Structure 1
Amino acid sequence: MTSRFTSYIALVGVIVYTFMANGQNRQLAPLLHEVSHPLQNILDTIGTDFHPTVQPYLERDVNKADWFRKTFETDYFTDKFIFQLKLNKKSEKTPIKLSALPIGQISGGFEGGSSRTFLQTGIGVNLSAMVGSKLDVNINILSSNSSFPLYVENYIFNNKIVPGQGWANPSDLGYFYNNSTGYVSYSPGKYFNVTVGYGKNFWGEGYRSMMLSDAAYNYGYLRLTTNIWKIQYTNLFTSFRDIYNRSDAPGQFNNKYGSFHYLSLNLTKRWNIGLFEGIIWQGSDSLINRGFDIQYLNPIIFLRPVEYSIGSADNALLGMTMSYRIIKGIKAYGQFILDEFLLREIRNNNGWWGNKFATQLGLKYYNAFNIERLTLLTEWNLSRPYMYSHDNPVQAYGHWNEPLAHPSGANFNEYIIAGNYYINHFVFQLRYNYLDQGIDRVFNNVDGETEVLNYGSNIFRSNDTRVNDFNNTIGQGINRQMHTTFLKASWLVSTKANLWLEASFTWRYENVDSSENNLFFPTIGIRTGLYNQYWDF
């Protein structure tokens, strides 16, 4: 099956090369808050056909409006800001354009109240090519060696992975890891785009996503995007890794795969509705090497009948999104994701463990209080116990020991208030998170063996180890409360190199079963803006 999947990717590549006909440039925008937030601020308005959910955005999406000069009243935010971050402006007279740029990071900070310091370093190169006006190739080769705040290092020790950035190899400084990415993006016309890549995707309109977020590590993917009328339809086929409870070398980890669909419809000038589906399955077990199941290449939503037809019990999620532009500048949005449920158990209101769902409700205020480029956000996220998990841990909704949706897993309520402001080359971000979660209890029994009471927060633990069939409630287990306040100021030093000078301040308070941990840490540094970094888990 794996070879057939490889053949399929190769076939797509042949099609991409063969049908290089009419089309426009289709460079992907960086999946970076400093980029996506201003794009949404101008494009996400009443009456537009912009579909804000699926990221990274295509260049044609932002070219629908002459937003650069209208939004940013200085020469800093011209058409060089977004799509010349890595490339010089492409000439129609040049059929092939190649470029190479250095990329990297050096930033450091300290934990207040202690002598502990930390340092992040990275060095690499960006290689890019444009063939004609239709085919873009972009590769980032980046190796890093870093140390982190203590709670992040504890996370790395327990999960064997740097949050969102790869397998953690111990080094003299802290950990060495590779965070390389790349893609090939092609559009044969204005209605269709195909992207083959190794990186991340984000499906949502808020700070978090309960469908698919960019908090986990990079993965291989094939993304097909179709735009017709007021509809955007996205197919995403992925290759994941399972490393839970494994201490092997990365090459020996279990392969797992995913097939995702998202249908977005701008129903009216104000209403948008979307349908989501995701399937996760393991590549092999003790009986069969299944690989990438070709039947899941079915591009039509929904796949659950396919799952039944092949006699499989894979991890399937269904969902719906909805947003409404209330008045100019104010938008409500939400997600509802369903893992499993039985209607009779919902009616019985008995807390059955299998009624697993997650939801999100949020409100955005663009150009708040008539202050141009100021965006305010408030958001509520909820996840039932055992959400995203499976009776077979390999088929959990995760990758490289990290959840594919919310980085805290399941069994929680979360409240977020955020503000973002952009002027000239400067970006200011302020965010407050409050997380109330029930976590599992880990203890040693009388024989000195480690035991776990599975209350449903760790998505990589089997459903079969649940503590109760009934009377399950959100927040059950050991109570964990976390407050995080984050302030960041960024300055875009170089548009062509996508180089940012950044200073941030984080205050984090965590209370786990009356055991408190209170810390703050400032950081300062300079880096290439390649990815979002999430330390609020």
Structure 2
Amino acid sequence: MKKISCILVLFSAVFVHAQVESLAGHNYFRDLSQKPGYDKEQVSLAEDLFIDTMHLSFGKKLKRHFTEDYLFEVHEKNVTLYLSPVVNFQAGQDWLDEGGPTLYQNTRGIYVKGTLLKNFSFATTFVENQARFSKYENNFISSHGEFYPNTSTVQQNGVVPGGGRTKPFKEGGYDYGYAIGSFLYKPIENLEIRAGNAPTFVGSGYRSLILSDNSYQAPSIDIKYTFLKKWSYGVRRTRRFNLIRKTAFSTVEGYYQPKASSRHYLNYQVNKNITVGLSENSIWSMGDSVTTRPNGLYYAPIPLLGLTKSANHAIYGFDFSEVAGKKIRFYQQFVLAGFDVSQMGFQFGVRFYDLLPNSMLQLEYNKVGGELYAADTPNMSYTHYNLPLAHPKGQGFSELVIRANVAIKRVYGESKTVCYWLKNYNERDLLPMDNESPAFEDLIIHQQFELGYRINPKINFCLFGRAVLRISDIDPTQILLHIGLSTNLFNSYNDY
């Protein structure tokens, strides 16, 4: 009987088709995936189709790889491989800062993805960056830097959202790099096993109050099982860090303080238009040692077991999405860590598609209580690499987001308005060490316009010009002007 079972599993592993794993999570791709009628499986299958270019001239082949395909592709019977460069070359200036330094981004890397047989796919990227940011971005990046306890300089370097820990580069610049990898294995039709360090975004909005791609990459394993066609249950285990250097170490640099996170989620597809999700998202203490394991309940694939444990800080989330007609998607999230209003948050949003041909309009409102993500013990807060795991702004705010974009062939225009209302807000209250930073009130308006030409939609390779107006009751007004050439595959948020 065991032999028969093994044969059945191996047989199914050959003939089950899995979607192509992808790391491309930029808002451009997310907007497409949230459009009513979008079929992710069909898009994945389309990428596997080989288009015969043998009869094309060299010039046309080169143009096709530059404007329609990946730079390098392999299509064999049981193997596909796609390779593309990753670049982000930008130059800019704060128009109101006379004599101020030139702002720039210099990103180089490579993006690779592929499939093996019918049930295994993978994606990986390696990226190196040098950049000089605006004043408000510098303040945010440096305020989330790593801690060195018992030293004269308690906090050093900085952390770029979606980019990682930095090192100084020339005058006022940052040097940082990252590597992301993920694989997806589907041994049977209803089971998905995903492992790697790729970020995850939960929800249908511009923001997520449950889990977003704002923070740094973290190694994890995610197992999801679909049953009764409409239900799916998943468990995820992740290793995370607080950027607090150990005071005693034998290596070149001290290790960071580790912590673990678990995620249990249950999704129900009511019908083809309505999806509902419930989740438990927890941070577990690992003490102050790289070898200490979290509480044994952490490994159990069952939710609610950590409720009585002081070494656990849990966030519970509700996620809802509904398609109305062929052009509208409504969505909402509700999250809580306790029954006080300050420990709750909610999101309401709507997306309108094709009010004009090839357009999208998004309206979203987020409100987050002042104690939602913070734990009683600072190093147990809902963070990784000193950055919030959900909303980039952390907690204690209200936010209105208005986004609109339209495309005429490959020419596109985008507008984004973000308004924050901060009351009794503390920008450092999620950091893993106690701080005496005072709370404050502020109104922030972040207005961005972008006009560009999408050279290659498949990798979102764009030539663009961008203008950002940032107004604050506390900080000086800034007008940032940039031009650039970029493969926009990943998000790096600066509208905080």
Amino acid across the alignment from 2:41:
R
Deviation at 1:289, TM superposition (A): 4.8
Aligned residue for 1:459? 430
Amino acid across the alignment from 1:367:
D
Deviation at 1:316, TM superposition (A): 0.6
1: CA distance, partners of 2:434 / 2:138 = 28
TM-score if structure 1 supplies the norm length? Answer: 0.75
Deviation at 1:165, TM superposition (A): 0.6
Residues 112-135 of structure 1, C-alpha deviation per residue, up to 9 Å, x if partnerless?
Answer: 122322111022233444322322
Which one of the candidate residues 275, 283, 288 is aligned to 2:286?
Answer: 283
Deviation at 1:102, TM superposition (A): 3.1
Aligned residue for 1:500? 462
Pick which of 205-214 and 183-192 moved more: 183-192
Aligned residue for 1:60? 41
Aligned residue for 2:262? 259
Root mean square deviation, CA, Å: 3.5
Aligned residue for 2:354? 367
1: CA distance, partners of 2:307 / 2:96 = 57
Amino acid across the alignment from 2:212:
S
Is the CA contact 2:66–2:456 (under 8 Å) kept in the aligned structure 1? no
Counterpart check, 1:484 vs 2:465? no
Pick which of 151-160 and 21-30 moved more: 21-30
Which one of the candidate residues 379, 382, 400 is aligned to 1:415?
Answer: 400
Aligned residue for 1:198? 197
Which one of the candidate residues 311, 321, 324 is aligned to 1:323?
Answer: 321
Residues 141-160 of structure 1, C-alpha deviation per residue, up to 9 Å, x if partnerless?
Answer: 11111111111112222222
Amino acid across the alignment from 2:353:
Y
Which one of the candidate residues 338, 351, 366 is aligned to 2:336?
Answer: 338
1: CA distance, partners of 2:326 / 2:75 = 35
Distance 1:144 1:19, change over 3 A: farther
Deviation at 1:461, TM superposition (A): 6.4
Pick which of 396-405 and 166-175 moved more: 166-175
1: CA distance, partners of 2:350 / 2:459 = 33
Residues 415-446 of structure 1, C-alpha deviation per residue, up to 9 Å, x if partnerless?
Answer: 11111224433443211111011355xxxxxx
2: CA distance, partners of 1:330 / 1:101 = 33
Aligned residue for 1:26? 19
Counterpart check, 1:532 vs 2:494? no
Residues 434-462 of structure 1, C-alpha deviation per residue, up to 9 Å, x if partnerless?
Answer: 1011355xxxxxxxxxxxxxx68722368
1: CA distance, partners of 2:12 / 2:315 = 35
Is the CA contact 2:230–2:268 (under 8 Å) kept in the aligned structure 1? yes
2: CA distance, partners of 1:491 / 1:220 = 35
- Number of residue pairs matched by the alignment: 452
Residues 68-116 of structure 1, C-alpha deviation per residue, up to 9 Å, x if partnerless?
Answer: xxxxxxxxxxxx999965763634x2x3345554322211111012232
Q: List alignment gaps of at least 5 residues for structure 2.
A: 1-8, 48-64, 145-157
2:30 alignment partner, SS class: helix
Within 5 Å, which residues of 2 pair with 1:281-320? 281-285=284-288, 289-293=291-295, 295-300=297-302, 303-304=303-304, 306-308=305-307, 311-320=309-318
TM-score if structure 2 supplies the norm length? Answer: 0.81
Amino acid across the alignment from 2:403:
A
Is the CA contact 2:285–2:311 (under 8 Å) kept in the aligned structure 1? no
Is the CA contact 1:389–1:462 (under 8 Å) kept in the aligned structure 2? no
Is the CA contact 2:232–2:268 (under 8 Å) kept in the aligned structure 1? yes
Q: List alignment gaps of at least 5 residues for structure 1.
A: 1-15, 45-49, 51-58, 67-79, 441-454, 468-476
1:37 alignment partner, SS class: helix
Aligned residue for 1:226? 225
1:219 alignment partner, SS class: coil
